């Protein structure tokens, strides 16, 4: 059908004079509606198709397209449609629209009747302006675009607003079990029936902590301060449970820094005054009360300064490392602070890397009289840190794959490379991807790769895991 400018604007003027209450308030969320403004959508001509008209109004304020949708409902014959689950071109449904599964919207969609989705609605602002003149129902709604509902919005499980550039506006009631406003503008004129609501400006840490009381495990990470929205809506789209049957105790992130109890009896100020480099007594990475060990944030050669309870480590000259392949390797990770401790033994030499994810590390090296004595030291270190740290091999629980980044400086520039074990496959930033029969074989191949890089002048720069590791984040 072709729309003519004179007929449409005359109807728009008449419609606007009748509008009042919550519908007018919703349409006015982005500004005062003005029928004459809609003339711009006709361009130089005085007639256009319905989809051309809608496309000309988008992206733009909901005020104009909201008024236009109400006028179109009065002008066009209602015809119901079944959508195929993807809207990638401007679409106008003059009656009710139904979708048997989830709905992905990447272009303007205007439904002049009700919209019923047996799954999750995903839009993609700013290209995906959605207007529903009637009632909108779905299992889930993940919106980053302008989304206007002039009837009720009833979402069975969850609504998430994404980004702060566009708006979700509802003239009627909004009903859902879980509403996460995040940093999205959400305005509701009618009654709000929401069981769990995360308000605008909530912190990630607070959101994840609250989510632990009602979302099933795997949909939040209290330590990282994340709600896993993508996984949440994937499960909703598969009609899988996402809520616990009963309220759960609220989980909170453990403090990264040592507690007063852990520091009891340790003279941190005195240690800071005696440290080999400048440190702050307030920047404490780790403390072990039973041994008196303290890790402090340092600088220069010692980004992590370690006092083992008796002395500062690393002040003696380090022995030369002649061996290239490690005889054994023990890697520890600590959830609090994302600290790592990697212990390598090269025959009679023990090398220790201590640092934190995507941060800095200090490397210490100790020589022993024999390989057996060095091995016994590795066992003592294992016993010392077991309990406070978790031993890991290829991945860090709740974080991702363990990635070792190596670096070297030569000819005035730095070079970097890294490696991970993904299942039974060795993957490196150099382009290596080799699969083995089992993880043990892959780990042996990793040791060979590390030895080759060490011979080529590379040293360990940092241990990383998602979201910072380049390989593990893919």
Residues 430, 400: one domain? yes
Q: Which of 391, 415, 433 is the last residue of a domain?
A: 391
- What was the pLDDT predicted at 473? 59
Query: Cβ neighbours of residue 354 under 8 Å, at least 6 residues apart?
Result: 295, 304, 306, 339, 340, 341, 361, 362, 364
- Residue 470, domain member (yes or no): no
What residue numbers bound the domain in which 140 lies? 1-202
Residues 324, 187: one domain? no
Residues 303, 440: one domain? no
- Residue 46, domain member (yes or no): yes
How far, in Å, CA of 123 to CA of 143, rounded? 5
pLDDT single digits (tens) 409-430 = 988 999 999 999 999 999 999 9
- What was the pLDDT predicted at 135? 98
pLDDT single digits (tens) 87-134 = 999 999 999 999 999 999 999 999 999 999 999 999 999 999 999 999
Number of domains in the chain: 3
At residue 72, does pLDDT exceed 90? yes
- Residue 20, domain member (yes or no): yes
Residues 80, 192: one domain? yes
Averaged pLDDT, 67-75? 96
Averaged pLDDT, 430-450? 96
pLDDT single digits (tens) 293-335 = 999 999 888 999 999 999 999 988 999 988 789 999 999 999 9
- What was the pLDDT predicted at 1? 74
Residues 334, 346: one domain? yes
Residues 380, 434: one domain? no
Residues 71, 140: one domain? yes
What's the whole-number average pLDDT of the chain? 94
- Residue 233, domain member (yes or no): no
Residues 283, 304: one domain? yes
pLDDT single digits (tens) 146-184 = 999 999 999 999 999 998 889 999 999 999 999 999 889
Lowest mean pLDDT among 42-46, 226-230, 295-299: 42-46
- Residue 226, domain member (yes or no): no
- What was the pLDDT predicted at 468? 65
At residue 474, does pLDDT exceed 60? no
Find tokens 């030499």 and name the residue.
Answer: 349
Residues 131, 171: one domain? yes
How far, in Å, CA of 304 to CA of 285, rounded? 8
- Residue 210, domain member (yes or no): no
At residue 439, does pLDDT exceed 90? yes
At residue 402, does pLDDT exceed 90? yes
Q: Which of 184, 202, 220 is the last residue of a domain?
A: 202
Q: Which of 202, 230, 247 is the last residue of a domain?
A: 202
- Torsion angle of alpha carbons 367, 368, 372, 378, nearest 10°? -60
Residues 25, 139: one domain? yes
- What was the pLDDT predicted at 177? 98
- What was the pLDDT predicted at 271? 95
Residues 193, 57: one domain? yes
Pairing of strands 328-334, 395-396: unpaired
The pTM is what?
A: 0.79
Single out the residue of 457, 411, 435 nearest to residue 446, CA to CA. Answer: 435
Residues 192, 300: one domain? no
**Residue 77 — very low, low, confident or very high, per pLDDT cuts 50/70/90?**
very high
**Residue 187 — very low, low, confident or very high, per pLDDT cuts 50/70/90?**
very high
- Residue 216, domain member (yes or no): no
How far, in Å, CA of 445 to CA of 56, rounded? 59
Q: Report the CATH number at residue 314.
A: 2.20.140.10
- Residue 253, domain member (yes or no): no
């Amino acid at each position: 059908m072709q729309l003519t400018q004179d007929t449409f604007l005359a109807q728009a003027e008449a419609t606007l004079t009748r509008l009042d209450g919550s519908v007018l308030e919703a349409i006015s969320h982005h500004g005062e509606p003005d029928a004459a403004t809609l003339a711009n959508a006709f361009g130089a001509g005085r007639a256009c198709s319905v989809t051309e008209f809608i496309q000309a109004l988008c992206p733009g304020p909901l005020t104009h397209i909201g008024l236009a949708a109400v006028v179109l409902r009065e002008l066009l014959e209602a015809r119901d449609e079944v959508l195929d689950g993807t809207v990638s071109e401007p679409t106008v449904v003059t009656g009710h629209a139904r979708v048997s599964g989830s709905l992905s919207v990447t272009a303007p969609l205007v439904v002049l009747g009700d919209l019923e989705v047996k799954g999750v609605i995903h839009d993609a602002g700013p290209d995906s302006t959605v207007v529903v003149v009637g009632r909108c129902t779905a299992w889930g709604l993940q919106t980053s675009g302008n989304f206007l509902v002039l009837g009720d919005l009833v979402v069975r499980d969850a609504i998430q607003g994404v980004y702060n550039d566009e708006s979700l506006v509802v003239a009627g009631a909004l009903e859902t079990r879980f509403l996460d406003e995040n940093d999205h503008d959400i305005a509701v004129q009618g009654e709000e029936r929401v069981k769990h609501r995360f308000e605008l400006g909530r912190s990630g840490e607070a959101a994840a902590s609250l989510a632990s009381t009602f979302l099933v495990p795997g949909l939040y990470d209290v330590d990282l301060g994340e709600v896993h929205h993508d996984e949440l809506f994937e499960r909703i789209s598969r009609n899988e449970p996402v809520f616990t049957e009963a309220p759960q105790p609220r989980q909170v992130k453990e403090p990264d820094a040592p507690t007063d109890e852990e520091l009891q009896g340790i003279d941190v100020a005195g240690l800071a005054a005696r440290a080999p480099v400048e440190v702050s007594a307030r920047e404490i990475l780790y403390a072990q009360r039973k041994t008196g060990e303290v890790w402090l944030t340092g600088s220069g050669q010692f980004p992590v300064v370690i006092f083992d309870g008796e002395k500062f480590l690393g002040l003696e000259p380090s022995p030369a490392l002649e061996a290239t392949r490690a005889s054994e390797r023990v890697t520890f990770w600590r959830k609090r602070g994302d600290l790592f401790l990697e212990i390598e033994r090269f025959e009679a030499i023990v090398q220790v890397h201590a640092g934190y994810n995507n941060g800095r590390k200090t490397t210490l090296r100790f020589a022993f009289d024999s390989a057996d004595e060095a091995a016994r030291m590795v066992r003592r270190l294992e016993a010392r840190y077991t309990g406070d740290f978790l031993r890991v091999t290829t991945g860090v629980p709740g974080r991702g794959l363990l990635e070792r980044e190596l670096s070297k400086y030569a000819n005035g520039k730095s070079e970097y490379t890294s490696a991970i074990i993904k299942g039974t496959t060795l993957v490196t930033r150099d382009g290596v991807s080799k699969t083995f029969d089992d993880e043990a074989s892959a780990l042996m191949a990793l040791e060979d790769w590390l030895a080759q890089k060490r011979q080529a002048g590379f040293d360990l720069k940092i241990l990383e895991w998602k979201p910072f590791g380049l390989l593990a984040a893919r």
